[in-house]
Structure 1
Amino acid sequence: MNTVLSRANSLFAFSLSVMAALTFGCFITTAFKDRSVPVDIHVSKVMIKNVDDFTGPRERSDLGFVTFDLFANLQPIFDWNVKELFLYLTAEYSTKSNTLNQVVLWDKIVLRGDNTKLNLKDVKSKYFFFDDGNGLRANKNITLTLSWNVVPNAGILPLVMGSGHKSLAFPETYETAKSY
């Protein structure tokens, strides 16, 4: 009555159901784990230049340069269900035209087995810190935040912010870049 294909199909469906249940059970073991760790950010150098912006109207825009130190121990985040972390440092500030501006300044991927203790000194921002106007010069409260995405073996991709933010302000005077 039951053919070989029918029995193979039943066995395959049962195996998939068991594997799905086991994967879900493994996910639940780490789903509610706190993935935040303390982060220490020190800003050692801050500079702003007013440069020509070639991406839009021919106006000048602020370009910020930040040099920072970053200290964090990411070891408590890693467990059997973490493949890698995608770290990124953002600068958040508000201007007259936008209540929230977020700019990614630096990023790094930390794989399982890599050195999980970050002790970075005098790191320059990896990406340009452009404002779409003169918002950096006028802003007195810019917050640097280290965040990370946890890439698991099974489950959701949580976005976590490190505890310990750093506020910075650009200097009153700024350099005007020469047009060539």
Structure 2
Amino acid sequence: MHSILQRGNAILAYTLSVLACLTFVCFASTVLLNYRTHADLNTVKVVVYVVLWDKIILRGENAVLDFKNMNTKYYFWDDGNGLKGNNNITLTLSWNIIPNAGLLPNIFAHGSHSFQFPVDYTTSRM
């Protein structure tokens, strides 16, 4: 006969094997999905005081991003003269989808927006 420890070990090993198979099925069901979409990007007022932002969108929330009057979260400082007067600045949109199991993909949207920075830095807070 088997002891309690041997039976518990067999049940635990079987349970972990079933969970590993279910995790792999969850990964396999989403790994080949195409999450790319088209994004319309635009700039209204360009100042050399660039702001980087992020937003967490939960499943079921409205995914339309409209940041016309958003307060700043991260500042992107130009330590030299690389941004001032630059004629080729391109904005792109990318995001991560956090899966239940598997890879953490970095997805880039179709579409971008190019513009130029002004030749003077901003001297006051916006």
What TM-score does the superposition give when structure 2 sets the normalisation length?
Answer: 0.86
- Count of equivalent residues: 123
Q: What is the match of residue 22 of structure 2?
A: 22
Structure with the greater relative contact order (CA < 8 A, sep ≥ 6): 1 or 2? 2
Distance in 2 (CA, whole Å) between partners of 1:176 and 1:16 is: 59
TM alignment of 1:48-87, pairs within 5 A:
48=48, 64-65=49-50
- Residue from 93, 96, 108 that aligns with 2:55: 108
Gaps of 5+ in 2: none
Identity in percent: 47
Structure 1 stretches (4+) deviating beyond 2 angstroms?
A: 123-127, 175-178
Deviation for aligned residue 1:129? 2.8
Alignment equivalent of 2:66, drawn from 120, 123, 143: 120
CA distance in 2, matches of 1:28, 1:176: 50
Structure number with higher strand proportion: 1
RMSD: 2.0
Partner of 1:9: 9
CA distance in 1, matches of 2:107, 2:67: 23
**TM-score normalised to structure 1 length:** 0.62
Q: 1:123 to 1:168 in 2, by over 3 A?
A: farther
The structural deviation recorded for 1:175 is 4.5
1:167 and 2:114 matched:
yes
* 2:86–2:118 CA contact under 8 A, matched in 1: no
1:132 aligns with 2:63: no
Structure 1 residues without counterparts, runs of 5 or longer: 49-63, 66-103
